[in-house]
Amino acid sequence: DGVVLLESKVNGREFHVGRFTTPTLESLRAEYAAKLRANKKNSELLRSGGFSLANMVADVRDLHRDPANRGAVFQVASQFNCLEMPDINLTPEDGITNYITDPTQGPACAMECAPGTLYRNYFVDVNADGTLNEGGGDDSFEPGQRADRQLDCLAYVGKALHNDKENYWHLKNGYVLPSGPTSLSRLSQRLQSLSEESIDELRGQLAVGVQWDTEVSSVDSGDQRVCQVYCAAVPVAYAPGNTTDQWEPFARLVLRGCYESTLLVAALKAIERGAREKVFLTLVGGGVFGNDEHDDRVDGRHLGAGSTWFEDTFGFSERAGGSNMHATVHRNVELHKRSDGVLELMSKPLGKRFEVGRFDTPSLAELRSATSKNRPPEIPGVRPPHKEITIQNIVADVRELHRDPANDGAVFQVASQFNCLEMPDMNTTPEEGITNYIHDHTQGPACALECAPGTLFRNYFVKVMSNGTAGEIDASDVDTSGAGLGQYDKKQLDGLQGLGEALDNRRNRYWTMKNGYATPSRRGSLTDLKKRLEGMSKSTMDELTTKIAVGVQKDTQVSSVSDRVQKVTQVYCSALPVGYSPNTSPADWEPFARLVLNSLYESTLLVAEREAQRTGRTKVFLTHVGGGVFGNDQKWIVDAIEKAVWSVFLRGNSGKLDVYIVNYKSVPRIYEELVERLIPSLQPRFR
């Protein structure tokens, strides 16, 4: 009957993959119309059934496992090869195991139906043009996708636009990227010149991947099956030098095709079953992909404004005053500085005060100096106290860790951008506010929302100095009701500015900072920087690491805790966006990326050491900064953690640190090996 099964030779278990097809929107429309014509009952069913539509907040994994959703249709955000590449440089040969490290919707869905994912990576038959050979292979068939042979859901769109000659775009591991500096502008102009009818015909050539009746392998019985529709959006944020406006016509064409295709798959299943069908949609192209989520209006409301968390927390809508959100916030929130230097924000609508704590942007050099000054003096004849460090991996939800009373006063490393904010893409500015952080489910935004008053401060009230650091808030700043404070498009914190001055980046043009993302300034700039860094001595490289700054939000209130005042210290750290530059390789980035990672992990541990010097013992929670879509190699991250632990350990101090590496869902083997290496070396100092 065409159903695909996979059997594990190791454990003998059989898995129901179902059928996998890559229909175009045009073919789905035709099949839908044919089934309506073929059976009058179908027409009556659809006329009487209609739609119900609702927003929901849920874990998509739980939705897959729920028996009530057996047979449901799930839209899955993927790449155009129907796989879940966490960054642009990974190929199908890198496998699917590492999907577990990406906490976003697409990989989560793919892992719920792992047999289907295994099939799409290792067993599909791909034609030379990127289309699926649904007739089965011949004797020469070598199953599976490869770096040089992958599915391409834009193949027919490309043929219709003669992309082979026009060179509008090319695909790299499922990511669609402009082929040249002007290609996107040319494509935009061409699409804008077409009639709506022609655009619709073009949209009809878009394909999606449909995994029909596939097993939810996370349910042990093997009886839970669903339908998954793999849809990709264009990676607006992955092509520096191109604007959102240039992407818009192409992005809209793809998005409309994805959503209509998904609903048609559900409608076809409804006809087949003669019953209503559930379909779960997601925000395809949102988050780090940078497709605009909130510029259209439905019934007078922004589509992106579904969450009320900001209004629930602060008593007013961030968008209440239209596009000038800074004025709205400054009108509704007062900044106060207590006699002990602690900053507070007061919501006027609620009459409620929030503790921001203290915020500064120290360099690694400043943190090394501060912790050295706080060490107890050496006494002749008295053995100095040993440094005590414990380290372990944990699997946990970082939000729950913030709320746990046992973690009051702990230090949390937070993955951010170099402006200490959580921009979902490099085209988002501080003027667009923080409400939409709720749509990004990665570690950084989650931490930022747990301590929302501090996040509000960094966006709207921080004092940005000319050198990209945060200045101290004084009485005159408080008296101005926020005027002149906060980050804007042209005035932002920059954790790399000190390093840039040391390397004369203004003249050499190695990188450009755009809304907290450091991207290559020109073709070949990373190669030039790599050669320069590789020619430096270890001491010179170490000196460069000391120039990098992090954002420290000290003793800031966890606003998600309502029954008490819980405070933590957050260290905002950014890695380089290795996966965001299509014309570069990880090797081009490596020396620069390692330099940054080494600095930010040592800085985080020194912030924790500073706390331990005051309290005696401090917990510090580390994260995989630069992992996932940022594309930093796991080995670079692990090496940086190891180097930082040793650096702090060997300095010696009476303060005690309990280091936790926070992992999502499971602990990658490379992190297990790190802890296994460190524990025996650190333990002797405990005795």
Q: What is the 3-state secondary structure (H, E, C) of 252-278?
A: HHHHHHHHHHHHHHHHHHHHHHCCCCC
- Confidence (pLDDT) at 300: 32
As given in the structure block, the two tokens for residue 261 are 């295709």
Q: Is 596 exposed, middle or buried (0-12, 13-18, 19+ CB in 10 A)?
A: buried
The phi-psi region of residue 283 (left if phi > 0; otherwise alpha if psi is between -120 and 50; otherwise beta) is beta
Average pLDDT over residues 121-145: 81
Q: Which range is least confidently modeled, 29-43, 52-66, 408-422?
A: 29-43
Domain residue extents for the chain: 19-49+69-291, 305-686
- Nearest Cα neighbor of 251 from 178, 325, 317 is 178
As given in the structure block, the two tokens for residue 65 are 């496992």
Mean predicted lDDT score pLDDT of the chain: 89
- Confidence (pLDDT) at 241: 67
As given in the structure block, the two tokens for residue 192 are 């804008």
pTM > 0.75: yes or no: no
As given in the structure block, the two tokens for residue 57 are 């907040």
pLDDT in tens, 459-477: 999 999 999 999 998 877 7
Instruction: Tell me the C-alpha distance between 429 and 421, whole Å.
Output: 10
Share of the chain above pLDDT 90, in %: 71
Neighbours of 282 (CB within 10 A): 17
Question: Contact at 8 Å (CB) between 571 and 412?
Answer: yes
Question: Contact at 8 Å (CB) between 31 and 267?
Answer: no
Question: Contact at 8 Å (CB) between 92 and 151?
Answer: no
Instruction: Tell me the C-alpha distance between 58 and 104, whole Å.
Output: 13
- Confidence (pLDDT) at 381: 57
Q: Which residue(s) pair with 347 in the sheet?
A: 333, 352
DSSP run (H or E) holding 663: strand 656-663
Strands 73-77 and 297-298: unpaired
* 38 confidence band (pLDDT: 50, 70, 90): confident
Judged by DSSP in three states, 282 sits in coil
Say yes or no to pLDDT of 49 above 70: no
- Confidence (pLDDT) at 375: 64
Q: Which range is least confidently modeled, 137-141, 555-559, 599-603?
A: 137-141
* 297 confidence band (pLDDT: 50, 70, 90): very low
